[in-house]
Amino acid sequence: MNEVERYEFDRVGFLSVPGLLTEEQVTCLAAAIDALEEEAAERADRPPRRMSPTGRLEYHHNAERGYYVNGAREPGNTMIIEDFFNADPTFDLLVDHPPTMAYINAIVQERPTINNSEIRIRYPGNQTGTHMGGQVSVKHAYSFNRTGINCMMVRMIYFVHDVGPEDGPFSVVPATHKSNVPVPYEGRNPDEEPGMTGLPARAGDGILFTENLRHGGLTNLSDQTRKTVHIGYGPFWMKSQNIATMDEEQYILPQTFARFSPGQRRLFRAWPDMVEPAPVGEGGMG
Ligand SMILES: O=C(O)CCC(=O)C(=O)O
């Protein structure tokens, strides 16, 4: 994260990152998302089902492929596929992805881990209601201290096709990560909320934001389905922030963990790094 990016992220609470993915990565990810959408859409309303720990949403659980899906493939609706890392090794390229980690390490001061993984598929007519903004919860806090920017949960969104102003862009109310008073507006319609700004993006771009920022997704007015990958990060002690497994351990199948590199595994280790005791006779335990 360079000086300008740091300034802008602190000032407005988000950062557009052009060309975060290579063309080849975009092609592979787009194909993997399409394949998973096909399967998940067929199963989304079938058993086995699980109510989220928050008690608000019910998911289909594919235990074999290790994902949860909510929603439906139909106009006006969204389908959200959580824990997609388990379903296809293609997504491994996003785990310990060096350009992404350079940003995450610059804004999360404690050792960061991945706490959220969702593919959002937003069909024509759909919108994402506005949420967050200001001092909502400790888990999402934004602050600045002597070391610099100090975020709790943050997210990176990856774009695998262009999303224009009419295509249901991700949207934010800039600078609300520093709000001190509750949002005074009724309802959660992002198209109507004062200050809500759509952020168009190109295939390969990323958008980084603090969860403390008020955000949502404008109505998809086009006939193109919007498909994006969202990955959340935070300090190592934060449990899953996926809705289906909220505040539980991250849901990573043994076979997924087995194929990860040591660096990738560390991003799912929700405990502190071991501190080696000083050897006897060197002023430590002797
Ligand atoms: O992209 C959207 O439609 C909304 C995304 C969102 O709310 C999130 O990633 O937290």
Q: Domain containing 221 — which CATH number? A: 2.60.120.620
Establish if 199 belongs to a structural domain.
yes
Q: Indicate if the alpha-carbon torsion angle 45, 28, 171, 153 is positive or negative.
A: positive
CA 89 from chain center: how many Å?
A: 18
275 assigned to some structural domain: no
Q: By alpha-carbon position, which residue is closest to atom 9 of ligand 1?
A: 230
Residues 114 and 95: beta-carbon distance below 8 Å:
yes
Kindly give the distance from the C-alpha atom of residue 275 to the centroid of ligand 1, in angstroms, as a whole number: 37
What is the CA angle 141-146-149, rounded to 5?
40
If one residue of 79, 136, 155, 212 were mutated to test the ligand 1 pocket, choosing by the most ligand atoms within 8 A of its CB, it would be 155
Least Cα distance to 130 among 199, 213, 247, 234 occurs for: 213
Around 95, how many Cα atoms within 13 Å sit in the side-chain half-sphere? Answer: 28
- So what's the pLDDT on residue 282? 39
152 falls within a domain:
yes
- Give, as one character, the DSSP assignment of residue 193: S
Look at the alpha carbons of 104, 108, 111, 112 in this order and tell me if their dihedral is positive or negative. Answer: negative
Q: Which residues pair with 113 in a beta bridge?
A: 234
- Tell me if 177 CB under 6 Å of ligand 1: no
pLDDT value of residue 92: 98
Contact indicator for 122, 220 with CB cutoff of 8 Å:
yes
Question: Is 272 within a domain?
Answer: no
By the 8 A CB rule, do 225 and 128 touch? no
Q: Which of 70, 80, 120 to mutate to test the pocket of ligand 1 (most atoms within 8 A of CB)?
A: 120
Evaluate: CB of 268 within 6 angstroms of ligand 1: no
Buried residues in 45-78 as b, exposed as e (16+ CB within 10 A)? eeeeeeebeeeeeebbbbeebbbbbbbebeeeeb
Mean pLDDT by 10 residues, the chain (286 residues): 98 98 98 98 94 91 97 97 98 98 98 97 97 86 96 98 98 96 93 97 98 97 98 96 95 95 91 50 34
Residue 108 in any domain: the answer is yes
Is residue 281 domain-resident?
Answer: no
Note the pLDDT of residue 55. 87
Please tell me the distance between residue 120's alpha carbon and the centre of ligand 1 in angstroms. Answer: 8
Mutate to test the pocket of ligand 1, among 77, 118, 157, 218 (most ligand atoms within 8 A of CB): 157
128 lines ligand 1 (CB under 6 A): yes
Alpha helical stretches, state H, the chain: 3-12, 23-43, 98-107, 254-259, 262-266
- 48 within domain boundaries: yes
- Whether residue 279 is contained in a domain is answered as no
Would you state the pLDDT for residue 272? Answer: 65
Domain count, the chain: 1
256 lines ligand 1 (CB under 6 A): no
Give 208's strand partners. 15, 156
CA of 217 to the centre of ligand 1 (A): 6
How far is ligand 1, taken at its centre, from the CA of residue 223, in Å?
19
Domain range enclosing 82: 3-266
